[in-house]
Amino acid sequence: MPELPEVEIVKQSLVKNVKSQKILKVIVRNRNLRFKLPINFKNIIKKQTIVNVRRFSKYIIIELSNKLYCILHLGMSGTLHILNKNKKNLITNSSFYHSPFLPNKHNHVELVFKNLRLIYNDPRRFGYFKIISGIRKLEDFISNYGIEPFNKKFNYYYVKSKLHDKKKNIKNYLLDQKFVSGIGNIYASEILYESKINPKKKSCDLSDYELSDLVKYTKRVLNNSIKKGGSSIRDFVNTSGNSGTFQKYFKVYNREGKKCPKINCKGKISRIVISNRSTFYCNICQK
């Protein structure tokens, strides 16, 4: 499943390509996504201009000129492909996973613009589109989740107030979207490694120093990944044909048995399973 950095890259690609563009036609080939598309989906968004595209957590939010918001979650296998009729763009994937080229199957939704086509492909159909009317309902939707890591309110005091009495391990809390939005399994391992925190440690047992580091390295790790174009665990590429490179800089994720990257550390990367998810950490740095 995509995490915050990968979704941010998709958002940036959409801003570059379709912001201020008018949707001339909507083609729905399959309504049966994770949540069935509304019957009137085509009529709702057709002939609307895309005013803005933003991201919240792992969601892409498309603001339309009729004051509606189209929220897109890419699920496990969803990709957005951008085709420009004026270019022979062999690389169409603005997203992650699967082929960088537009597949022949599972192209469920297509938005047609003057010179572009935006196609949603999703073999597993765990992604979905949700239409929300008005800013207040959008704010209500967002309020169901925890604050974002880049929000100024995600600071030592926020983390301290949320975790001081919680016995659940810190790895699970980083994945809890009610606590902080957008972090998934890959980045949770990387953040905890940089913070020198054992993933099995109870959240209430974190020291003030560890809480401060958790905030600092959450922001730093995610920012670094965005700058490097996202992670190419399954061939993430954008429409420029550039693949994400952050996976080349993983310190612990998927590095079981390898030496800890820290020069003065003699530890090795261990793998354990927490809540059915692989978790990687240094057996020395993160005691």
* Residues annotated catalytic, as ranges: 2-3, 58, 277
Dihedral, CA of residue 116, residue 118, residue 119 and residue 120, to nearest 10: 170
What is the Cα–Cα distance from 10 to 15, expressed in whole angstroms? 9
Q: How far apart are CA 190 and CA 152, in angstroms?
A: 21
Which distant-in-sequence residues (6+ apart) come within 8 Å of 4 by Cβ?
Answer: 55, 57, 58, 148, 149, 181, 182, 183, 184, 187, 222
CA gap 169, 186 in Å, rounded: 16
CA 102 – CA 121 distance, rounded (Å): 8
Q: Which of 258, 235, 253, 254 is nearest to 245 (CA)?
A: 235
Strand partners, 111: 26, 118
Q: How many helical (H) and strand (E) elements, i.e. helices and strands, does the chain have?
A: 7, 10
For the chain, the C-alpha Rg in angstroms (whole number) is 20
Crossing angle of helices 156-163/208-227, nearest 10°? 120
Q: Give the CA distances from residue 143 to residues 116, 140, 275, in Å, rounded to whole numbers and listed in that order.
A: 34, 5, 26
214 Rama sector, left if φ>0, alpha if ψ -120 to 50, beta otherwise: alpha
